[in-house]
Amino acid sequence: MTYEVKSLNEECGVFGIWGHPQAAQVTYFGLHSLQHRGQEGAGILTNDEGKLKRHRSTGLLSEVFKNPADLEKLTGTAAIGHVRYATAGEASIDNIQPFHFKFYDNSFGLVHNGNLTNAQTLRRELESQGAIFSSTSDSEILAHLIRRSHHPEFLGKVKEALNTVKGGFAYLLMLEDKLIAALDPNGFRPLSIGRMKNGSWVVSSETCAFEVIGAEWVRDVNPGEIVIIDDDGITYDTYTTDTQLAICSMEYIYFARPDSTIHGVNVHTARKNAGRLLAQEFAHEADIVVGVPNSSLSAAMGFAEESGLPNEMGLVKNQYTQRTFIQPTQELREQGVRMKLSAVSGVVKDKRVVMIDDSIVRGTTSRRIVQLLKEAGAAEVHVAIASPPLKYPCFYGIDIQSRRELIAANHSVDEICDIIGADSLTYLSIDGLIESVGLETDAPNGGLCVAYFDGDYPTPLYDYEERYLQSLKEKTSFYSIKDKK
């Protein structure tokens, strides 16, 4: 079986609230702030005095709830919601969350951000024991493990299940009388707790959702932690002490919104720092700095300030186009780049341009943007990337599970420069990335997972081990140097 990566694909976004008379509406606004984390589907499940109600469908949040009645029928004072990008499982409504599990003695809802590295093994074991799955998503596995646990208390069942699953995960579970949040032992996925003025507790993948609903950030959920929220307040517990912070560095580089704060570090600030350090590692003459909108604009600011070059708007983004990774074929993705971006000839003509971008995955988008700038009259285009070369797959919740189409896994920096048609190519070093984020921790790599860049994974890969080892042997790329033009 082959695995194709089209671009950097977001993970998912989760949101939960307890103790608000308009829980569904607040959850809608929270999910709207997290829409960048997934555009394939969305859903909300509410708790109305112990009765769980749900609405979900494929598409953007506004499409899922285009009929106001769909939101109005979700009555209750507590809710969980989800926006989905498929990291595991097919893009069908059966895989759209929240999941709702009904049993003779209770019921609960579940949402999940991340990817389980032992999902295949667990699913086979569960199915061999008679479990019946209603989806192909690995998120459903936790519910089966909870239900099959022999622990007398529900919280004990949850802890036992959390110690069984491996990989990256942020879970929210809605019960009839409580909301439970849990984070994996490495904290790969971000998860934060906030509180509204009326006393309602909220949990979100990113803090940007707090601003829109008027909530105040309280703290982040820690690795290996389980949080219980009910009518009596909030309780913090742990399900394991074998923890080591290794938050996904791509959250700071690309995924998270710039107005979010993760473990005390503002994302915009981290990206700006990355641009500043990238300028220190850059060794070419240039006239202007141009950031690729929107995720690279912060890095472009830092680069311009450090280098003393003017930061110009040489690329303009059409805000009404979908992200190119959604397009199913390479031809459509390349057409999507032209629809999404336009080069401003009056800005770049006859200029030596430093084009700042957050990453290069396949190289096709970078090649097209370089071409746009040169067609607009740029004398030179020097590409500077505010992250290290992306050489290794991710198995914790980002849709990169093969080295086969990662251009940096198959070509040197000089070859990539030649392929994308740039006059030079500079990547930020791994040390520069770690310094740019600057988490206050003694954890390895500054508390970041940088396995995408150095291949040093912070956990065993379990079901993915064989696939990963096979990918190391592959030297297959959609590019060859001779056909780059």
C-alpha closest to that of 56 among 68, 67, 48, 44? 44
- The whole-angstrom separation of Cα 175 and Cα 109 is 7
- The whole-angstrom separation of Cα 158 and Cα 227 is 11
Any idea how long the chain is?
485
Using the structure block, give the residue that is written with the tokens 């999507």.
336
C-alpha closest to that of 251 among 319, 184, 205, 220? 205
| Residue 19 Rama label (left phi>0; alpha psi -120 to 50; beta) | left
C-alpha triplet 168, 169, 170: angle, nearest 5°: 145
* Catalytic residue flag (residue 12): yes
Provide the pairing of β-strand 352-357 with 288-291.
parallel
- The whole-angstrom separation of Cα 356 and Cα 460 is 34
- The whole-angstrom separation of Cα 370 and Cα 280 is 22
- What is the edge-to-edge ordering of all strands in the sheet holding 424-427? 311-312, 288-291, 352-357, 380-385, 424-427
Do 219 and 207 contact (CB within 8 A), yes or no?
Answer: no
- The whole-angstrom separation of Cα 394 and Cα 137 is 17
Catalytic residue among 12, 208, 248, 417: 12
Using the structure block, give the residue that is written with the tokens 């290996």.
224
Q: Helix or strand or coil: residue 342? A: strand
- Identify the helix (H) or strand (E) that includes residue 23: helix 23-33
The catalytic residues are 12
